[in-house]
Amino acid sequence: MGVYILVYSIVGKNIRINRILRNGKAVIFAFDHGVEHGPSDFPEEHIDPRTIIAKVVSANVDAIMMLPAMAYLTHDLWSGRTSIIVKLTSRTSLRPESERYLQSIFGLFDEAIALGAEAVAATIYWGSQYEDQMLNQWFAIKELADRYGYPILQLSYPRGPEMKNIYDVDVVRYGVRAAVESGADLIKTYYTGSEESFREVVKVAAGVPILMSGGPQRDSLLMFLKDVEAVMRAGGRGVVVGRNVFRHRNPAGVVKAIKAIVHDGLSSEEAIRFVE
């Protein structure tokens, strides 16, 4: 490889990161659940992926993370209006339980480029018995991402048969540190339940942007917005959220409310008026 391509790719990576993180922060819609959880995750009105993609795009979401074929099926809706992060690994929940600790290759780096992606993403279940396989996948994707100037987002999810509490701050910190040391440009991880504990998570990231993974739908939207607020106060750079958006009756309003907290520094109580 010529030395210039390596130098140029640093420029490309910076440009692309800045298109996703506006002023260093981002609200990203996660939309790979059709494979990870199956269609029963979606309420009836959002069973057609085009309906929900149109709604989040109308709310000016900063980016959408999805698998290659879904990016293709919805491209006319997002193209020119928001960025996409193409996720290149996945797994179904139909697998035998113990095999659910493995993500498999679900698309090629070339497909992400062909689709006009701004970044690529892959999951590592740190602590899984399949950690080694996922690391091989990660470094194969990362080699191409680094060469061609694409940021790589790691879904850093500590998870394995022997892990008792995946939300424990020490466990999440370990996963984040491993993500940093495996060269992630952006890290998405679990919320640890409080501003104080999440601050400890941010500390071990050595400046690599940390985004909160949305997680299961909270009992109320306000509870979710409070978590987003705490994450931002702790030094997080935003969220990658799926269920708390697409399971809500007003997904566009929820995206606007999250954006108001992440980008404009509103409190959760102030931001919820975008929905009510």
What is the binding site for ligand FBP (CB under 6 A)? 30, 32-33, 36, 155, 213-215, 241-244
Nearer to ligand FBP by C-beta: 101 or 150? 101
What letter represents residue 239's amino acid?
A: V
Nearer to ligand FBP by C-beta: 36 or 111? 36
Whole-number minimum distance, CB 159 to ligand FBP, in Å? 8
> Is 259 an annotated catalytic residue?
no
Nearer to ligand FBP by C-beta: 149 or 158? 158
Q: Where are the alpha helices (DSSP H) in 59-185?
A: 68-73, 75-78, 109-114, 131-148, 169-181
Whole-number minimum distance, CB 253 to ligand FBP, in Å? 17
How many helices (DSSP H) and strands (DSSP E) are in the chain?
13, 10
DSSP secondary structure letter of residue 235? T
Pairing relationship of beta strands 104-105 and 89-90 according to DSSP bridges: antiparallel
Residue nearest to ligand FBP (CB): 214
Using an 8 Å Cβ cutoff, are 242 and 206 in contact? no
For helices 195-203 and 221-233, angle between their N-to-C axes, nearest 10 degrees: 40
Using an 8 Å Cβ cutoff, are 91 and 58 in contact? no
Nearer to ligand FBP by C-beta: 33 or 177? 33
Whole-number minimum distance, CB 255 to ligand FBP, in Å? 12
**What number of CA atoms fall less than 13 Å from residue 67's CA on the CB side?**
18
Q: Where are the alpha helices (DSSP H) in the chain?
A: 3-20, 33-36, 49-58, 68-73, 75-78, 109-114, 131-148, 169-181, 195-203, 221-233, 243-246, 251-264, 268-271
Nearer to ligand FBP by C-beta: 31 or 146? 31
The rounded Cα 28 to chain-centroid distance in angstroms is 6
Candidate list 87, 142, 188, 256, residue with the active-site label? 188
Whole-number minimum distance, CB 30 to ligand FBP, in Å? 4
Whole-number minimum distance, CB 193 to ligand FBP, in Å? 15
Residue positions annotated with a catalytic role: 188
